[in-house]
Structure 1
Amino acid sequence: MLFGANDQSVAAEEAFTNRQAQWQAVVTALTDHLHRVAGPTFDVEDFAGPRHNVLVAHGVGGIGKSTLSRKIEASLTHPEGRPAQWAEPAWPIEKLLPVRIDLARSTGIDFERLMLSIRLAVASLGRPMPAFDLALRRHWERNHPGEPLEDYLRRGGLFSRFSNAVNLPSQLQSSLADVAQVLAMPGTIGGAVGQLTTALVGALRERRQTVRALAGCARLADILEAEADLETLSFAAHLLAWDLHQLPADQRVTPVVLFDSFEEVGTRTHRDFERLLQRIVWLMPNVFFVITGRDRLQWAEEGLAGQLDWTGPTAWPGLAGHVPGARAHHGPAVRQILVGDFSPQDCDDHLARRLATGGQPLIGLDLRAAITARSHGLPLYLDLAVMRFLEIRRTGRTPQPDDFGDFPALISRTLSDLTSDERHVLRSVSLLDAFSVSLATQVAGLTHDAAALRLTDRPFIREDQSGLWPFHLHQVVRSAIRNAEDHTDDRWSEQDWHRAATRALTALGQEWAHGPRRDRAVLIGVLRQGLRLARDFNLDELGWLADAAFSYIGDSVWEPLDPPAHGHQGTELSTPADALVETLSALARRQREHRARTVQRLTAVIDSGLLPAELQEMPLYYRAKALRDIGRDEDSRRGYQQVADHGGRLAAAARRGLAQAARLAGDFPTALAAAQQLGWEGRHQRVLGDLYWVQGEVERAAEAYLAGRLEAEQHAKAGEAAHTQAMRAVAVAFTDPRQADDELDLAQRLLANLDLRATTINAAIASLIRDAGNPTLDDRVRTLRTELDAAGLTSMTPTLDVAVAFHQAVQGDHEALAATIARLREQTSNGMYAYYTDIAHFMADLPLPNDHTPPRWLDSATATRARWRALVTARRDLLRTSR
């Protein structure tokens, strides 16, 4: 950088990322801490001064932060545990007391276990910690009555982790016995902790000479008097710091607490756990803390005041070095270091400091943001971007964001020390979002796993064991291999890429059909990658993608599938893959788009004629559903009939659509006869439930919906189970509001991870029916009406108005009911759902208009009227008795 420009005013600053430098940072910070604590001015009860007892190492996931944390713990525990390249510290290790605490959720850590871990580590000193032990024992008695601490430690595995854990209960008992003795209380204190602390607080308040040993702890009485909850336990960390400071000088040690996986203590909007941990760090100034996590600590930012107890650069001067907008601190006070890749904030900070002139960043804010976004935190990319910036600047042109894309140098640097097979595997897996060793080997077309195994050890391969496939290529490296101009000797031709894409598509199909898992997560994973490959490389043979597409729609869950394009130009459909991508995208997007837009998109697919015959029925069927939703019932019926006549995979679903069309037209006997022929594939129980509830036979409908949900669960169809459960809630809500609470709760749980807009609205309608008679429903009705309009779910509006009519009939609001009936007559003027008008009249026991054409009820209009009227009067009686 120094020789990259003639301008001598341009200053360059270098950043480090190697582990040796990070160990040196630990050594420097810990040495500074030891000097401070040993100094004559150090006061363990100073609650106002700045804190210098924390060091933070942060970086992206999988970069080795946990390994670094473990290595630091080992190096502070045993000299032989220190890596050979790490320098030996000047201070004696025996004066340190390291304890590492993994905050990952998988460890089951909570704040109580965290505090116990620190105390158990201190137990190795073989001495009671009287002030803290009193508070701990009081906390334990209040929050774990009847549970011995020894049993908890043994059951929680803490005894096995801490070799001196067995000494803690006896040390606690010793502390209690000593206090009881000085207070002249009889016997060994066991269950009388409350009595003991009360007596001790009184003695402390009266400043009796007998308790002078504890009287020096100014906050002890206040903590013992406070509610024994987690907040108080966090403040009790000060008591442990005080106890440690009372040890004789020749027995005093410095605890080093290593908090790992700090990103898992919460989010940057929910800081409750973080606040407790920060309190420990602040209240234990004689303890040194090493925190490793994905993000830098924000404690030095004043904007967090109120969320945390102590904030700002004055409180945490060592943490302010990388705070945006703050003046960087230099020298040993800097206590935040990076491990590997940079976070976005640090990318910007790096670019701002990398080149400067006159003390100001040479690279502007907008350009820094563009480079940061494209770097994905890779330090190498940032350095290459700075070099390109200088190169463009030398030409006299101002660098622009478009100048910073993929760097060919990333390819050569990434491939430089790989074997030929490893280079081949690397290019192959760049086609995939994620991969396993076996999948990488198949995509590469190799017969052995060795090259893929070696590749997974490379630093640009990230590992996430919670994913479908554990490995993925660093995004910047992947983008460079796919997009940048490759000048290496073994670069691939277009045919090489096409052959690799064909192998990848085949391998993904094998993964779905014969892999270790065959669940919906795998289906979505292979579909997203397979669709993109087929589209971007114009693979005409869809193969397994057709079967996978039918499996995708079979559960009605509708996860987003539209894959990002790689060099895909325009929106015109030109290949079968284009048409299939557009079809599945339209089906998923209809949960968030107006149904008229869904009709438009599916019509374009149908008209293109690109889909093979076996897939053509898919856009035909779902266009028929969308046409029904927007009120074009005759067009919808014709579409269903076309699919049913074709006799393909969706024929049973189309016959269900025709049965439902008969129901919508009020031809209930025909709908019933059709429903009885549908079977599970045609969702017969759901059709029966839809038919029974409009007859006023809501109990019978609820039974049918329950049977439908159980069938759906038996066939592992989460979407169908959620839908039938929501409709069961609708049926039950008419008769039993209390049971409806349970049914709605189950519906919400089934919907939790699904994107089913219409089903979610059905559940909301059920909640309205449950609350019928409550005068505060108007706002909820307006909100639902707006949502239906926005979604284009016109067909559901009459159902909402039936719920409103039930509410108004229960209230006896004849004027409002008349308006609702008028609205229903207008909505159903085409003959579809016309029976909803009958139902509204039945609810209020009103005569039907003379010009009204009744539907074909399953038994008789008189019986149906009586059932609906009985539901209204039963609800009135229920409301009257509950007042």
Structure 2
Amino acid sequence: MLFSSNDRSVTADEAFTNRQMQWRAVTSGLTEHLQRVGSVNFDVEDVESPRRNILVFHGVGGIGKTTLSRKIEASLTNSAHRPPQWAQAYLPRQQLLPVRVDLARSAGSDFESVILSIRLAIAALGRPMPAFDLALRRYWDRNHPGEPLEEYVRRGGLLHRFGAAAALPQQIQSALSDTAQALMLPGTVGGLLGHGAQALITALRERRQAVRSLAGCSRLADLLEAEPDLDALSFYPHLLAWDLSRLPADKTILPVILLDTFEDTGDRGHRDFERLLQRVVWLMPNAFFVVTGRNRLQWAQPSLEGQLDWVGPQAWPGLATEHTHRASQVHEHQILIGDFSPEDCEDYLSRRLMQREEPLIDESVRRTIAEHSHGLPLYLDLAVMRYLELRRKGRRPQSADFDHDFPALISRTLSDLSAEERHVLRGISLLNAFSVPLATEVAGLDHDAPALRLAERPFIRESASGVWPFHLHTLIRSAIRTSEETSDDRWSEQDWHRAAQRAFSALEAHWRRDPQRDRTVLVACLEQGLTLARDFGLALGWLTDAAFQYTADSIWEPLTLPPAPNPPPQGGLTPADALVETLSAVTRRQHEHRERTAARLETVLAEGLLTTELADMATYYLAKAQRDLGRIAESRRGMQQVADRGGRLALAATRGLAHLHRLSGDFPTAVEVARRLGWPGRHQRVLGDVWWVHADIDRAVAAYRADRTEAEQHAAVGERAMAQVHLSFAAAFAGPDRASDELDLAQRLLEPLRLRSNELTARVANLVRAAGNSDVPGQASVLLAEIERSGISYIQAKLQLALCFHYSVLDYREELEGAIDRLRTLTNRDDYAYYVDIAHFMGGLPLPARSTRPRWIDGEEQTRRRWRNLVITRRSYSAPDGRPR
């Protein structure tokens, strides 16, 4: 900020947000650690017991791990530096000594500097660590001949980081002098480090009185005898731990060693540096380690045996991870750092840039940045930099300036990935969810190893729900897909298109080999396949078959597709766009007015982008919407067109024509057509629709039940639910007792589905079941409002018919005549006109002269008699006080 603006009234603050949960994990971890170390059974020289002295925070690049590490160090050093959010957190009373080591390559850290950093921090105690200092001085003189330790510390900048660093050489000298004097070696220190070293080792092994203060360290002699190379140096922390355990009670400290940027210790094929660091953690059980890095530690995996010294869940119980195909359960010592919440993003941006103690960034701009960040702090910082850049150019940044992804996000994400992992990462950015085999297929590789390694990265999230277990962090996925990448191995447009085609083919294979034809697999493959076809202009191919299976099940869960890239790679509308709109219109008709459904499908057909088969689908569902709207002539033309083509929906369209014959009152023709349909045309349901209007309830229920059975045999859950709804509606006329169980079953079958018209029909059936109760008209008025919003006219007619039944049961002649008038208005275009006749039959009324006289199967008188008998029978259901119920 200092060099980004000439306006000195603008100030930049290192805003720190949230992370209370991580701070609580640190404080609770420290408390538990102190309880273990303070136990009478604790032995600092025990190298077999499991280790619980480590806490790991891992997360994507830019999530705030380094900031968290620094804040923990500052908070443990001085409570005045603790963020306000952490003020009330409990800390143990033990004296804490935080030591933070940045392992980033840019920091130039090596293993020697790690060991020296820990020892230099402990130098603040003003006491030598005799066992460790003897070994360290021997190592130093052998590996850095002629270079004094104090000069190395000064040149390496460690003197500025650790206030007591200058005292370390004197402390080491003191330890050497005391030991040499005790052994009466000539040349004091020189003798101890030269030929006298063997004398010290012998004295330690014999546990002589002269070196009794060191003889208690059982492994000191062995370490002094070993060649003092880097490998030996990695075991010296054991000596330092022993020295710390010998401190007087009033000088006791707890070292808290923070190892940051742990991912830079090497890749997972080269663990040499990681092996040395693991020894430090294992051999200092009385110290507490806080590791921050991009990846979780794998030390609890038995498969690493031979690469690291101590591996497996028995060695590191707090780091153990139990993987299943559904989820990953991580124990309390290995914690994924999550994204900021929207409130945290707002708080961060409010305090990041200030002018006269007010937020510099406008509220609307802050909101836009927060939405685009998906909670990633790195994005927030990059957006702040962009804000300053735009401001420097002389204009006030607006919300539209931050509809933007940053290439830096990609470089940070890809920085520690192998070439194959980067290749897989770009491939999975095409998918909203994936599995390891799917990722491998999309990348065009013949081995899973890169995808397996990638799945363990913190920017890959694992979920127990869904067909595929993994998904890429939303912001990183967007950045990879839309930002201008500049890396040497970036993909060309042709590379992206080839990967999209591989992904498209892999999804087809996954769907077709699903033996259960699971609905969730179908929807997942369809959503991802449609997105790929839309974004890359792919031929529809297998999506046609998938779309027909999707509609055939009559389960109308919505398809959720992400917004198309802007601008789309191919430009303009594609056949995939047309198919997406078709399926969306078909699905949304359960929640939209049928006029809206019809308009959407008419527009799709006018664009001419669909194949003949898919155009039949759009035409068929348009005809159904037209029928629901009472546009019978148009519906008949559409159904006839689809039936004549003889395609996949020919039988369904023929069934639609049978329904239209029924609507017009031509029942014999409807029955004749139904008997030619068979199960594929749902013949039993068509017959049931004919029999109930004849008041032949037993015959209608039998037909619906047969349809339900066939649906169960064919695993058609949508058809099963529809059959049960129609069955309960017919049974409701026969009596409340008979209908109750059927309606309960209908509700259970409908619950997981999205069948709006059938849900409304079931509610009308409830009113028929309750006919004779005083509250039926009130319930009907509420239901009528919902039906009118749906635009399904035939259910309005059914509702009025239910009211006619209710008033006939109560023998309310005036109310019945009013309901008949409303019913006549709803059916004045000949469709469902016979409902008016049925209402007269119910009330025992003569037909008006202008009756349409439908073609009843067994004549008008028989039908009249059956309807009148249903009304009379219902009157026998009386409440205890004698009033009809």
Equivalent residue of 2:461, what SS? strand
The RMSD of aligned alpha carbons is 3.2
Cα distance change, pair 742–389 in 1 and its aligned pair in 2 (3 A): same
Amino acid at match of 2:426: R
Amino acid at match of 1:826: T
2:452 aligned partner: 453
1:548 aligned partner: 546
1:490 and 2:489 equivalent?
A: yes
Cα displacement (A) at 1:730: 0.7
Amino acid at match of 1:855: P
- Verify the 8 A CA contact 1:562 1:585 in the aligned structure 2: no
2:756 aligned partner: 757
1:634 aligned partner: 633
Cα distance change, pair 511–616 in 1 and its aligned pair in 2 (3 A): same
TM-score of the two chains, using structure 2 as the length reference: 0.63
Amino acid at match of 1:401: S
Q: Structure 2: how far apart are the matches of 1:572 and 1:31?
A: 61
TM-score of the two chains, using structure 1 as the length reference: 0.63
1:12 aligned partner: 13
Q: Structure 2: how far apart are the matches of 1:676 and 1:654?
A: 15
Cα distance change, pair 568–618 in 1 and its aligned pair in 2 (3 A): farther
1:677 aligned partner: 676
Q: Structure 2: how far apart are the matches of 1:797 and 1:625?
A: 16
Q: How does 1:287-366 map to 2 (within 5 A)?
A: 339-366=337-364
Amino acid at match of 1:746: L
Amino acid at match of 1:764: R
2:827 aligned partner: 828
Cα distance change, pair 401–568 in 1 and its aligned pair in 2 (3 A): closer
Cα distance change, pair 607–522 in 1 and its aligned pair in 2 (3 A): same
1:698 and 2:705 equivalent?
A: no
- Verify the 8 A CA contact 2:336 2:458 in the aligned structure 1: no
Q: Structure 2: how far apart are the matches of 1:59 and 1:412?
A: 16
Cα displacement (A) at 1:746: 1.8
1:817 aligned partner: 816
Q: Structure 2: how far apart are the matches of 1:19 and 1:851?
A: 78
1:864 aligned partner: 863
1:613 and 2:600 equivalent?
A: no
Q: How does 1:728-877 map to 2 (within 5 A)?
A: 728-877=727-876
Cα displacement (A) at 1:64: 14
- Verify the 8 A CA contact 1:18 1:339 in the aligned structure 2: no
1:534 aligned partner: 533
Q: Compare 351-360 and 554-563 and name the one that shifted more.
A: 351-360
Q: Structure 2: how far apart are the matches of 1:25 and 1:396?
A: 47
Cα distance change, pair 20–4 in 1 and its aligned pair in 2 (3 A): farther
2:555 aligned partner: 557
- Verify the 8 A CA contact 1:573 1:579 in the aligned structure 2: no
Q: Deviations over 1:116-139 (max 9, x none)?
A: xxxxxxxxxxxxxxxxxxxxxxxx
Q: Compare 770-779 and 801-810 and name the one that shifted more.
A: 770-779
Cα distance change, pair 613–20 in 1 and its aligned pair in 2 (3 A): closer
Cα displacement (A) at 1:412: 0.8
Cα distance change, pair 569–27 in 1 and its aligned pair in 2 (3 A): closer
- Verify the 8 A CA contact 2:58 2:337 in the aligned structure 1: yes
- Verify the 8 A CA contact 1:431 1:501 in the aligned structure 2: yes
Cα displacement (A) at 1:396: 3.4
Equivalent residue of 2:655, what SS? helix
Q: Structure 2: how far apart are the matches of 1:514 and 1:407?
A: 39
Q: Structure 2: how far apart are the matches of 1:31 and 1:421?
A: 41
Q: Structure 1: how far apart are the matches of 2:792 and 2:26?
A: 64
1:723 and 2:692 equivalent?
A: no
Q: Structure 2: how far apart are the matches of 1:793 and 1:835?
A: 18
Cα displacement (A) at 1:395: 2.9
1:879 and 2:878 equivalent?
A: yes
- Verify the 8 A CA contact 2:455 2:470 in the aligned structure 1: yes
Amino acid at match of 1:534: A
Cα distance change, pair 517–64 in 1 and its aligned pair in 2 (3 A): farther
Residue identity over aligned pairs, in percent, reads 56
- Verify the 8 A CA contact 2:668 2:856 in the aligned structure 1: yes
Amino acid at match of 2:851: H
- Verify the 8 A CA contact 2:31 2:92 in the aligned structure 1: no
Cα displacement (A) at 1:473: 0.6
Q: Structure 1: how far apart are the matches of 2:686 and 2:565?
A: 46
Cα distance change, pair 745–572 in 1 and its aligned pair in 2 (3 A): farther
Q: How does 1:301-450 map to 2 (within 5 A)?
A: 339-404=337-402, 405-450=404-449
Q: Structure 2: how far apart are the matches of 1:20 and 1:741?
A: 55
Q: Structure 2: how far apart are the matches of 1:591 and 1:572?
A: 31
2:245 aligned partner: none
Equivalent residue of 2:354, what SS? strand
Q: Compare 407-416 and 613-622 and name the one that shifted more.
A: 613-622
- Verify the 8 A CA contact 2:10 2:360 in the aligned structure 1: no
- Verify the 8 A CA contact 1:501 1:533 in the aligned structure 2: yes
Q: Structure 2: how far apart are the matches of 1:509 and 1:27?
A: 49
Equivalent residue of 2:690, what SS? helix
Amino acid at match of 1:466: S
Equivalent residue of 1:856, what SS? coil
Cα displacement (A) at 1:59: 11
Cα displacement (A) at 1:637: 1.4
Equivalent residue of 2:876, what SS? helix
Q: Structure 1: how far apart are the matches of 2:645 and 2:451?
A: 47
Q: Deviations over 1:743-797 (max 9, x none)?
A: 2222222221222111111011001101111122223222222222222212222
- Verify the 8 A CA contact 1:557 1:755 in the aligned structure 2: yes
- Verify the 8 A CA contact 1:355 1:363 in the aligned structure 2: yes
Amino acid at match of 2:748: R
Cα distance change, pair 544–800 in 1 and its aligned pair in 2 (3 A): same
Cα displacement (A) at 1:483: 0.9
Q: Deviations over 1:690-744 (max 9, x none)?
A: 1111000122212221221222222222221221111111111112213423222
Q: Compare 859-868 and 773-782 and name the one that shifted more.
A: 773-782
Q: Structure 2: how far apart are the matches of 1:384 and 1:695?
A: 72
- Verify the 8 A CA contact 1:659 1:671 in the aligned structure 2: yes
- Verify the 8 A CA contact 1:59 1:343 in the aligned structure 2: no
Cα displacement (A) at 1:364: 2.9
1:319 aligned partner: none
Amino acid at match of 2:368: A
Number of positions where the alignment pairs a residue of Structure 1 with one of Structure 2: 594
- Verify the 8 A CA contact 2:59 2:459 in the aligned structure 1: no
- Verify the 8 A CA contact 2:808 2:842 in the aligned structure 1: yes
- Verify the 8 A CA contact 2:10 2:353 in the aligned structure 1: no
- Verify the 8 A CA contact 2:346 2:370 in the aligned structure 1: yes
Q: Structure 2: how far apart are the matches of 1:64 and 1:385?
A: 15
Equivalent residue of 1:878, what SS? coil
2:587 aligned partner: 588
Equivalent residue of 1:785, what SS? helix
Cα displacement (A) at 1:413: 0.8
1:710 aligned partner: 709
Q: Structure 2: how far apart are the matches of 1:435 and 1:516?
A: 19
For structure 1, which runs of at least 5 residues remain unmatched after alignment? 34-56, 69-87, 93-336
1:625 aligned partner: 624
Cα displacement (A) at 1:851: 3.3
Cα distance change, pair 498–338 in 1 and its aligned pair in 2 (3 A): closer
Cα distance change, pair 5–741 in 1 and its aligned pair in 2 (3 A): farther
Q: Structure 1: how far apart are the matches of 2:523 and 2:484?
A: 32
Cα displacement (A) at 1:492: 1.5
Amino acid at match of 1:10: T
Equivalent residue of 1:858, what SS? coil
Cα displacement (A) at 1:28: 7.5
Larger gyration radius, structure 1 or structure 2: 2
- Verify the 8 A CA contact 1:562 1:584 in the aligned structure 2: no
Cα displacement (A) at 1:465: 2.8
Cα distance change, pair 4–610 in 1 and its aligned pair in 2 (3 A): same
Equivalent residue of 1:670, what SS? helix
Amino acid at match of 1:551: Q
Q: How does 1:645-660 map to 2 (within 5 A)?
A: 645-660=644-659
Cα distance change, pair 657–5 in 1 and its aligned pair in 2 (3 A): same
